[in-house]
Chains A and B, each alone.
Chain A
Amino acid sequence: MFHLALRMLLGDRAKYLMLVGGLTFSALLMTQQNAVFQGLLSWTTSHMRNMRAPIWVVEGRVQQVNETKALRDTDVNRVRSVTGVDFAMPLFQGVLKARATDGSEKLIQMIGLHAGTLFGRPARMLSGNIEQLRVANAVVIDELAAERLGRAPAPGQAPRPLAVGDVFEINDREARVVGLCRTERHFFGYPYVFSTYDQALQFAPRQRKMLSMILASPRPGVPAEVAAAHIEAETGLKAYTVPEFERSTLDWIWKNTGIPASFMTTILLGFIVGVAIAGQTFYSFVLENLRNLGALKAMGASNGLLSAMLLLQAFTVGLVGYGIGLGLTALFGLAVSQGGQPPFLLQPAAVLRTLVAILIICFLAALLGIRKVAKLEPAIVFRG
């Protein structure tokens, strides 16, 4: 009987397409929004992956990695002397104004690394040499910076990205590119420009306290969380391990921004749209087939069989819609992966969750029909 159930479903072209269309839209909305949301969330902690420090020491009130509250210069040495700490290096980070070679102003994420160790250096150099950072006015920039600060060779032509040896200005000071690196996009969307700590202080406007954070590493054999606990106990500063800082950052985003709520609303909307369209259309499909279902019931089809047929029909449109929706999401992801914007991170768990959501939608839709069919008197087919 199940092949007949499918034939009945496919035989009603209009409703079938409506159902598949609605569920496709719903699945697309849910997975795509989720992927953009997850992508955005991953950006919020990308800075940590770029700097690769096991322990982050910050001012006591700092809850997330994209926030800076300046520390005293002496704090670096206080952290260095904590038991269990192998080394601790100062870090400057700040958003500064740069002048592109075409004269326009762009905001950059300035990073100042400890000159001796260059601890926190980018993982992947594309050209040039990071060691050159110690030369006066030297900077290493990421691809985004190279692109944004570049200039078109002639009007109307595509801008040529900056390369090693090029010069631009940061806060009216000359900066010379000595290397090009690859980074993960920062949450704020600004390109990275690396220099040494002391050089960064030259670029940045003078302030009373300039030390943004301290990057530390535990002694071999000491777990990061133990070292972090020692730092907190002995200095009164806040020390995060990477997982702690990630969790704290995400917590902060959930508590203090409307980002999750707005994405959740859209995702919920996708679910509701799915329920509404699928429920409504499937129910009217059942109503239109009521006489046929009544005839099947009179001929001896049990409620169980008819329910199974309705479930099969509902899950069929669900899986088809889900498949197309997921395919479209993947295409979207492929398209944006070139430009890197908007953020996009399609996680297997999210893909699975959407599948479950779609199946729930279909189950609810089928349930309406099942209730109707269970109450259906087979005798109705004798009435005109």
Chain B
Amino acid sequence: MPDAIQLSHVSKAFGSGDARTLALKDATFSAALGELHLVVGPSGCGKTTLLSVAAGTLAWDEGDVTVLGTRLNDLPQPKVTAFRRRHIGFIFQQFNLIPTLDLVENVSVPLLLNGRPRREAEERSAALLQRLGLGGRERKRPTQLSGGQQQRVAIARALVHEPPLLIADEPTSALDRETGHQIMEILSTAARSPNRCVVIVTHDPRTYAYADRLTEMEDGRIAGVHQGQVLQNFIASHH
């Protein structure tokens, strides 16, 4: 399967002097279209940093980053922004829905950013909310919903412009077990229909079973990449 994300020998440091932290150390990572790819590891090991670099929201120090065939190294900042706008859907741990906007308005943002007319944007958003089980709540505010419902709105927002790459940082950590499973089901479906690359950073071993591939990180390095039987063994050892 073609690579959606290709990081090779990427390093990233925060701060300087004594406060300098190497968040990524010579990390090489890839994720493919059509797969749900988990990134796991202990807190502070660099998962979010890896994801941010891959999503083009964070500048890195060394190495090459190619996303969906575009080498981000060579791209000026406004082009990177435009690239994110068209090709990437984002799901955040804290949902990050805008509290003063209703659900349809929240979901319509990526379409509006891509220049779609307001009417079309709202119709498509409402239809997607409906499909994700939020029909009839379109004009509610995010704060009137439960955490799981809010995360579904966030997923709708990430998918509404049908980006080939979906990026999620700890999408289930703020949710209870049952809701977490529902969210993973939706994301896992999103990875397959149509072919899409879904990269999820997670702490949560209960989500491991949804992975097609799993990258393990440790202290800024890639500690291992598991799939197939090895992945099954890894999952078993973490239950």
Write the residues of chain A forming the contact surface with B, with a CB cutoff of 8 angstroms: 1, 3-4, 7-8, 10-12, 291-292, 294-302, 305, 377-379, 381-384
Contact = CB atoms under 8 A, between A and B. Distances in A.
A377 B57 contact: yes
Given A378-B57, A379-B58, A299 B110 contact: yes
B186 interface: no
Contact of A11 (B52, B86, B101): B101
Given A12-B100, A298-B90, A1 B57 contact: no
Given A301-B113, A378-B57, A378-B58, 14 more contacts: A7-B100, A8-B98, A10-B100, A295-B98, A296-B109, A296-B113, A298-B90, A300-B81, A300-B83, A301-B85, A379-B57, A381-B90, A382-B51, A382-B169
A291 B90 CA distance: 14
A291 B101 contact: no
B98 A302 contact: no
B42 to A, nearest CB: 16
Nearest to A300: B85
Contacts of B82: 300, 302
A165 B85 CA distance: 87
A299 B92 contact: no
A299 B90 contact: yes
B101 A300 contact: no
Contact of B81 (A8, A302, A377): A302
Contacts of A291: 94, 96
Nearest to B80: A300
A383 B48 contact: yes
Contacts, number: 80
A291 B169 CA distance: 15
Contact of B84 (A8, A12, A299, A305): A299
B15 interface: no
Contacts of A300: 81-86, 88, 110, 113-114
Contacts of A7: 100-101, 105
B39 interface: no
B133 interface: no
B55 interface: yes
Contacts of B94: 291, 381, 384
Interface of A, secondary structure class, is helix
B78 interface: yes
Interface in B4-50: 48
Contacts of B118: 3
B152 to A, nearest CB: 17
A299 B99 contact: no
A4 B101 CA distance: 7
Contacts of A294: 96
Nearest to B84: A300
Interface in B90-127: 90, 92-94, 96, 98-101, 105, 109-110, 112-114, 118
A305 to B, nearest CB: 8
A382 B48 contact: yes
A377 B109 CA distance: 19
A8, A292, A295, A382 — which one has the most chain B CB atoms within 10 A of its CB?
A382
30 contacts: A4-B101, A4-B109, A4-B112, A7-B105, A8-B98, A11-B100, A292-B96, A292-B98, A296-B109, A298-B55, A298-B57, A298-B84, A298-B90, A299-B84, A299-B113, A300-B84, A300-B88, A301-B113, A302-B78, A305-B113, A377-B58, A378-B57, A379-B57, A381-B90, A381-B92, A381-B94, A381-B96, A382-B52, A382-B57, A384-B93
A384 B48 CA distance: 11
A377 B77 CA distance: 12
A1 B101 contact: no
Interface in B113-145: 113-114, 118
A297 B86 CA distance: 13
A291 B97 CA distance: 9
B113 A382 contact: no
A377 B52 CA distance: 10
Contacts of A10: 100
Contacts of B169: 382
A280 to B, nearest CB: 20
Contacts of A11: 99-101
Contacts of A378: 57-58
B48, B98, B101, B109 — which one has the most chain A CB atoms within 10 A of its CB?
B98
B99 A382 contact: no
A299 B109 contact: yes
A378 B94 CA distance: 14
Contacts of B48: 382-383
Contacts of B57: 298, 377-379, 382
A-B pairs with lowest CB-CB distance, top 8: A300-B85, A11-B100, A379-B58, A378-B57, A295-B96, A379-B52, A300-B84, A379-B57
A292 B113 CA distance: 14
Given A7-B105, A299-B85, A382-B93, A1 B100 contact: no
A1 B113 contact: yes
A10 B85 CA distance: 26
A293 to B, nearest CB: 9
A377 B82 CA distance: 15
A384 B94 CA distance: 7
Contacts of B84: 298-300
B182 to A, nearest CB: 22
A292 B57 CA distance: 15
A294 B113 CA distance: 14
